[in-house]
Chains A and B, each alone.
Chain A
Amino acid sequence: MRTRSLGGRLALGLGLVAVLGAFVLLGLVALEYVVGSDEPLTAMQLAHEVADHVVAPLIILLGLVAVAGAMVIRSGLRPLTQAAIDVDRAAQTAPRGVRIDHNALPAEAQPFAAAVNRLLARLDAAAEAQEAFAADAAHELKTPLTILSLELEKLPGEVAKGLKDDVAALSRLVDQLLLLARLDAQSAAETPRESIDPKNIATDLISALAPIALKSSRNLAFEEVGGTTFLGRREAVTAALRNLVENALRATPEGGTVTVIAGPGPRLAVRDEGPGLSPERVAELSKRGVRADHASPSGAGLGLAIVARIMTAHGGALSADAQRRELTLDFNTREGIRQ
């Protein structure tokens, strides 16, 4: 049976050396006394001699070796423990591009560290490749969609309008799939988090969406109820909030207002004037693979699955309050304390 701890193996090895050494020494000493002396010793005297000259020194020697060995091993392994702590910490703060500093490690551990570093490099490269793919795919898919919608603009009538809505839905779906691809890349190899003010995110997004909302006779509003900053990824948080606001605009009847609320605490909420989603429905819709929004009667779908993914990645949660018609993004400040 092999023990996993180096300390355990040392103890086992020393024990074995002690037993073997004791037997060899015993044999040699006994031979010395039996062959070398003029008058043979009694068994009692022999045992005494052996205990004095073999067992006692052996025990003292082994004791010293065990203590020294344990100390050497512990200090030899300290760089490994430290490396593990460093990698863990780095993975949270400056996640992509993390490598083990193998110069600080014992020579025996260096090939292992180098292998792990090669693996980390491959992980980073894979994440970057996936992000590059998402960017390329966005460009390649969006250009023909734009051509399609510009062509449709030239056609009169109801059919063209319906087709234009389809193009808009398709474009939204492309955006959401690409966002999912990017989130997957993020979870493989992260990019750093930044301090986010929920008020900034909310007012920037409202400014961007207000012209479109007003064109469809709906309005947007912002309320500040004590929002506090939190650590996160601005792009992902904006995408999550944007999904909620766009869903809310679709659910709100003409003339209604969608309100974005910052706070209390590290929290963003979206209140609409539609029928509202029940918590059960939110949980159901948050599962990836639920049909996309243009196919679902409530006007939510893949969008909420993405929002849920983003929230999980931030150590937070998406929740619903059907009475108040609010969907809430709760960002866990634990993430901030850890840094």
Chain B
Amino acid sequence: MRILIVEDATRLAALLAEALAKHGFASDRAPTLSAANDALAAAAYDAIVLDLGLPDGDGLAWLKRRRSASLPPVLALTARGTLTERVAGLDAGVDDYLTKPFAADEVAARLRALLRRSGPRAAPILSAGPISLDVAARRATVSGATLDLSRRELDLLELLMRRAGAVVSKDAIETALYSFDSEVTPNAVEAIVSRLRKHLDEAGVSGVLHTIRGVGYLLEDRT
């Protein structure tokens, strides 16, 4: 996995590169947007870590200009994680955000999550902690042992694993699991989640599938 870090604070960029190396990411550094352009022209990257305030321009404006050319997923670093900034960023094509200061583990986890999401470079085998999911073969395993899951349970697991470490809303699950015309009973999602949780418990991974009551569900991304 090769990452491009676009950050003008060179010491921060060096520390981040060093920390990401421990998580198995190789990274190049670009202190300016023009350096980033050069780097992107010279090599293929799996993801970009982009500071939004750079000496030769605004990171978001740069992204908007570059979006026509296909870019790898972008994790933005921002000093102020305010909502207005976030909305502007998502419009510009930022895939995820981290507010400074951040822990290196968090950057690595977000990058893994970005790479897991569907896309041209989406991993064929997803993993979250001891759980693995072969997307094409529709097979889930825990530490090598196959889980006996129904189609809907597998779909749910895939959805949660693609966004491991983040909350997946109940609405998003309903939309993904059921077609428009099918009748969804109010407790259908709860029932599937509780069956999946039971399967995971039996396989020895308990306490990783959390219910955020009233909002959705979160599968832990333990490493």
Using CB atoms and an 8 Å cutoff, list the residues of chain A in contact with chain B: 135, 138-139, 141-143, 145-151, 153, 167-168, 171, 175, 178, 203-204, 206-207, 210-211, 214, 219-224, 234-235, 238-239, 257, 259
| B172 shortest CB reach to chain A, Å | 11
The residue that B215 contacts in the complex, of A146, A222, A238, with Cβ under 8 A, is: A222
Contacts A153-B103, A153-B104 given; does A211 touch B167 at CB 8 Å: yes
Verify A143–B12 contact, CB threshold 8 A: yes
CB-based contact B169/A207 at 8 Å: yes
Residues of A within 8 A of B210 (CB): 210, 214, 219
B180 at the interface (CB under 8 A from A): no
Contacts of A211 in B (CB 8 A): 165-167, 218
Alpha-carbon distance A148/B100, docked complex (angstroms): 11
Q: Please state if A222 and B214 are interface contacts (CB–CB under 8 Å).
A: yes
- Whether the pair B218, A148 counts as a contact (CB closer than 8 A) is no
Task: Report yes or no: B100 in contact with A145, Cβ–Cβ below 8 A.
Answer: yes
CB closest residue in chain B, given A203: B215
Shortest Cβ gap from A326 to chain B (Å)? 16
Q: Give B30 Cβ to nearest chain A Cβ, in Å.
A: 16
**Chain B, interface size: which category?**
20 to 34
Q: Are A221 and B101 in contact, CB atoms less than 8 angstroms apart?
A: no
Which residues of chain B are within 8 angstroms of A167 by Cβ–Cβ distance?
Answer: 101
Set of chain B residues within 8 Å of A145, measured between Cβ atoms: 100-101
Q: CA A224 – CA B215 in complex, angstroms?
A: 10
CB contact between A147 and one of B9, B166, B213 (< 8 Å): that residue: B9
Question: Which partner residue on chain A sits nearest B80 by CB separation?
Answer: A138
Within 8 Å CB of B167, what residues of A?
206-207, 210-211
**Interface status of B46 (Cβ within 8 A of chain A):** no
A142–B19 CB distance below 8 A: no
When chains A and B are docked, how far (Å) is the Cα of A138 from the Cα of B51? 13
Evaluate contact between B100 and A143: CB separation under 8 angstroms: yes
Q: Which of A142, A145, A178 has the most chain B CB atoms inside 10 A of its CB?
A: A142
Give Cα A178–Cα B166 distance, bound, in whole angstroms. Answer: 27
| Contacts A135-B79, A143-B12 known; 10 new A-B pairs at CB < 8 A | A142-B99, A150-B15, A150-B101, A203-B169, A203-B214, A206-B212, A207-B166, A210-B210, A234-B84, A235-B84
- Chain A contacts of B93 at CB under 8 A? none
Answer whether A143 and B103 are a contact pair too, CB < 8 Å, given A150-B15, A207-B166, A234-B84. Answer: no
State whether A142 touches B100 (Cβ < 8 A): yes
A22 CA to B16 CA, complexed, in Å: 95
Q: Find chain A residues with CB under 8 A from B216 CB.
A: 207
Question: How distant is the Cα of A138 from the Cα of B83 in the complex, in angstroms?
Answer: 15
Q: How near does chain A come to B10, taking the closest CB pair, in angstroms?
A: 10
- The 10 A-B pairs with the shortest beta carbon distances in the complex, nearest first, are A222-B214, A221-B213, A142-B100, A146-B101, A207-B167, A138-B79, A142-B79, A139-B79, A150-B15, A138-B80
| A135 lies within 8 A of B84 (CB) | no
Contact B212 A146, beta carbon cutoff 8 Å = no
Cα-based distance from A148 to B12 in the complex (angstroms)? 9
B156 → A minimal CB distance (Å): 18
A-B contact count, CB below 8 Å? 100
How far apart are A194's CB and chain B's nearest CB, in angstroms? 11
Considering the chains assembled together, what is the distance between the CA atoms of A3 and B125 in angstroms?
86
**Nearest Cβ on chain A to B57's Cβ, whole angstroms:** 14
Q: List 18 A-B contacts (CB under 8 A).
A: A138-B80, A145-B101, A146-B12, A147-B11, A149-B102, A153-B19, A167-B101, A168-B101, A178-B80, A203-B214, A210-B210, A214-B210, A220-B215, A224-B214, A235-B82, A238-B82, A257-B213, A259-B213
Q: Which of A139, A148, A149, A219 has the most CB of B within 10 A?
A: A139
Residues of A within 8 A of B103 (CB): 149-150, 153
The interface bits of chain B over 1-35 (1 if a CB of A lies within 8 angstroms of the residue's CB, else 0) are: 00000000101100110010000000000000000
Q: What is the CA–CA distance of A148 and B103 in the complex, to the nearest angstrom?
A: 11
What CA separation (Å) do A141 and B101 show in the bound complex? 10
In the complex, B220 has a CB within 8 A of chain A: yes
Q: Is the CB of B83 within 8 A of A151?
A: no
Judged by a CB distance under 8 angstroms, whether B129 is at the interface is no
Q: How far is the CA of A55 from the CA of B22 in the complex (A)?
A: 107
Within 8 Å CB of B214, what residues of A?
203, 206, 221-224
- Complexed CA–CA distance, A157 and B166 (Å): 29
Among the listed A146, A203, A235, which residue makes an inter-chain contact with B83, where contact means beta carbons less than 8 Å apart? A235
